[in-house]
Copies of this chain bind each other. A is one copy, B any other.
């Protein structure tokens, strides 16, 4: 599909300037299909509260639980409905180079502004293989590379980032390896987004990160916007910490899914292997919301505890 490079109207610089990118949640109907009405509503809340970009089908959006056609459809839908208000970054990465190529071609063809690419998790590969993997997709359009060894089982070392950064489509790195790594990259002129909500304040204001790709902003987009735009604010950071800690006690997006259901902005439907947080944690969330103020959270219904039987878990969909 030769036309892709010339078709994408988003410059790499447009991507490099984004400060608040939300790894948007994908909500479901009781049969496990996408609940696009709820999704569109979540997208509206993000845009109204200052998110400048979204990751569609990231690990938070459970891209790994989608078929590729669902995934590309969701990217196309997001571009079509919201692409003029927000940058749409499709998580078209895969541990299979073939899939990453195919999905990225399709994602750019339906108008996504940038791609998010992961190194080959689970299967892993050599450093040369990792470079070959990224180089297979970088020609297609603006690209963010995502490093999260706690999920992938393999760090993307700076040497690989430096090699692929020669490509003009390389927008930057979503980095989860901490602020020292971030500082090194920033010093070398590489754009960085923090991938850890609990570190992002310092990453941004003390280590030079451009912004954050956030999970927490699904819940409190306005506060996360404030944290990325208003300047150093340790008090705001501290205020958010209990929520952030609560969110990540189990692998993301378990906490987020549970919280959004409790806030009444999505149906309480989980695609397995995710299951809701237990009652005790849900009670904690109600208190966290009360502490931070319901008005800072998305939606306008009362936060609820929900009973175990309120949740639907789907394995076939």
Contacts and interface: CB of A to CB of B under 8 A. Distances in A.
Contact of A251 (B29, B83, B126): B126
B110 A272 contact: no
A273 B156 CA distance: 14
Nearest to A154: B251
Interface in A259-286: 271-275, 277-278
Contacts of A68: 69
A166 to B, nearest CB: 19
A126 B254 contact: yes
A2 to B, nearest CB: 5
Interface string A175-209: 00000000000000000000000000000000000
A120 B36 contact: no
A96 interface: yes
Contacts of A149: 153
Contacts of A35: 1-3
Contact of A96 (B31, B40, B65, B110): B65
Nearest to A120: B273
A29 B7 contact: no
Interface residues of A, number: 74
A214 interface: no
Interface in A115-150: 120-126, 128-130, 132-133, 136, 149-150
A275 B125 contact: yes
Nearest to A36: B3
A275 B122 contact: no
A290 interface: no
A278 B39 CA distance: 42
A157 to B, nearest CB: 14
A275 B132 contact: yes
A97 interface: yes
A309 B123 CA distance: 24
Nearest to A119: B273
Contacts of A315: 97-98, 101, 136
B129 A274 contact: yes
Contacts of A39: 3
A136 B133 CA distance: 33
A83 to B, nearest CB: 8
A162 interface: no
A4 interface: yes
B3 A129 contact: no
Interface of A: 1-4, 6-7, 29, 31-37, 39-40, 59, 62, 64-65, 68-69, 72-74, 76-77, 79-81, 83, 95-98, 101-102, 106, 109-111, 120-126, 128-130, 132-133, 136, 149-154, 250-251, 254, 271-275, 277-278, 313, 315-317
Which are the 4 A-B pairs with shortest beta-carbon distances? A76-B76, A3-B37, A76-B110, A97-B272
